[in-house]
């Protein structure tokens, strides 16, 4: 499995029937491909859609059916569309059970930076600020390093997305959770050692005596 598949499959295990879940652009969109069999989850896109399904097969994409990043999505039976005011009312009103977002950096306190790199052109923050602030649970889906440099660091040096810390970080190497204001190593990926995770992480981690392997196949 490649890094993105490992991340998406592991996050899919956090889903529960009946959840309203927002998937950000990039790796998070892949989570919809791995919903456990028999589970009914409602995926929301902040541009105004509930009921998004897996990424459509080649030739089956509809030009007017996209996620918030403009990428093609499918719609499941019973899906509904609405305007941005309703969509952000759901988010800001605390009705989204879980959001899955990409990340540029996460620091030792669980604070996320994911919307811009100073000096580079950005289209805008999108819904990230609202989602991190308003969703009941915030999960970050990102690769552990970027060009060999750790992305989980003592303190973010990129602009923060929100003053609220995230709940869970899933990378291709590990699962980390925020526990009592600090990061705790919960799981390691198949074939990855605790020592490798620590070497690729600048932030201090709490490491239990026994760290299980991600239950993915």
| Residues that are catalytic | 46
Q: What is the C-alpha to C-alpha distance for residues 40 and 75, in angstroms, rounded to an integer?
A: 14
First to last CA, the chain: 9
Q: What pairs with residue 191 in β-bridges?
A: none
Q: What is the C-alpha to C-alpha distance for residues 189 and 145, in angstroms, rounded to an integer?
A: 15
Structure tokens belonging to residue 60: 């089956």
Q: What is the C-alpha to C-alpha distance for residues 206 and 83, in angstroms, rounded to an integer?
A: 43
Q: What is the C-alpha to C-alpha distance for residues 76 and 79, in angstroms, rounded to an integer?
A: 6
Structure tokens belonging to residue 84: 């941005």
Structure tokens belonging to residue 34: 């791995």
């Amino acid at each position: 499995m490649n890094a993105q598949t490992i991340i998406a499959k592991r996050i899919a295990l956090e889903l529960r029937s009946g959840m309203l879940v927002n998937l950000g652009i990039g790796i998070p969109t892949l989570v919809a491909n791995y919903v456990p069999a028999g589970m009914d989850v409602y995926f929301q896109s902040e541009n105004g859609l509930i009921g998004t399904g897996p990424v459509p097969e080649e030739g089956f994409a509809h030009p007017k059916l996209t996620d918030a990043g403009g990428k093609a999505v499918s719609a499941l039976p019973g899906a509904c569309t609405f305007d941005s005011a309703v969509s952000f009312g759901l988010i800001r009103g605390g009705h989204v059970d879980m959001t899955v977002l990409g990340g540029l950096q996460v620091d030792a306190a669980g604070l996320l930076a994911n919307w811009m790199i100073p000096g580079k052109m950005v289209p805008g923050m999108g819904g990230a600020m609202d989602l991190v602030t308003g969703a009941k649970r915030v999960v970050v889906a990102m690769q552990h390093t970027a060009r060999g440099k750790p992305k989980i660091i003592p303190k973010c040096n990129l602009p923060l997305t929100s003053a609220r810390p995230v709940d869970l970080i899933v990378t291709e190497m590990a699962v980390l959770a925020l526990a009592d204001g600090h990061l705790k190593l919960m799981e390691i990926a198949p074939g990855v050692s605790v020592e490798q995770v620590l070497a690729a992480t600048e932030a201090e981690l709490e490491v239990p005596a026994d760290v299980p392997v991600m239950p993915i196949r």
